[in-house]
Amino acid sequence: MKTQKGDTLVEVLLAMAVFAVVMMIGLSAMNNGMSRALASLQLTMARNTMDSQAEALRFANAAYISEFRSDGGAVTSAAARVWQDRLTKGAKGAATRLADCKRDDANAFVLSRSDLSYHSNGITNAVTYPRIAYGDDADSNAITNSNTDYKRAEGIWVEKVHLANTNYYDFHIRACWSAPGSNVNTTLGTIVRLYDPASK
């Protein structure tokens, strides 16, 4: 009778160890890829929210310029009044450092995309990514119902800066959040410079 040879216990354990190492490398690469994809998605969403704030600022400025009268007459549109009464009042000489991820609560605000209203309240740190929440929608920027009232801003804000003897305002749009798999905050910022014919 012939004896059959099989794999020894050492060979089986070695094969299992090699398989486990390959699986760990594969799972680590997949986890890395998922983290990067999520971080890229959050960055895109933050940029979109920042762009909407920049467009709202530009719209208010353009409305004011189109209605501006050198004799000091009143502007009539809501957007022009937001520029005249809110966006040019209380501006500081400098903005906070973006790297610090801290806002100047006395100078920070956001503009609602639904009615261009000015909000300096309800600005909090981001839970997952920078966003502005409206109505009853607790988890996304999408308006899914008829209630489009401003609710809160998470991890995104605007700071207004005006230097003496200049005819422009700088609006520092800031976003700060904790990216997945990172122990440091992700920050994103841009500056929108808008000219004011009433400034001296």
pTM of the model: 0.79
In 3-state terms, the chain is what percent helix, strand and coil (to 5)?
35, 25, 40
Q: Decide: residue 106, CB within 10 A, 0-12 exposed, 13-18 middle, 19+ buried.
A: exposed
β-strand partners of 185: 178
Print pLDDT tens along the chain (200 aa): 566 677 788 888 898 999 999 999 888 888 788 878 888 888 899 999 999 999 999 999 999 999 988 777 788 899 999 998 999 988 898 998 988 888 888 889 999 988 889 999 889 988 788 998 887 655 554 545 555 788 889 999 999 999 988 999 999 999 999 877 678 888 999 999 999 988 76
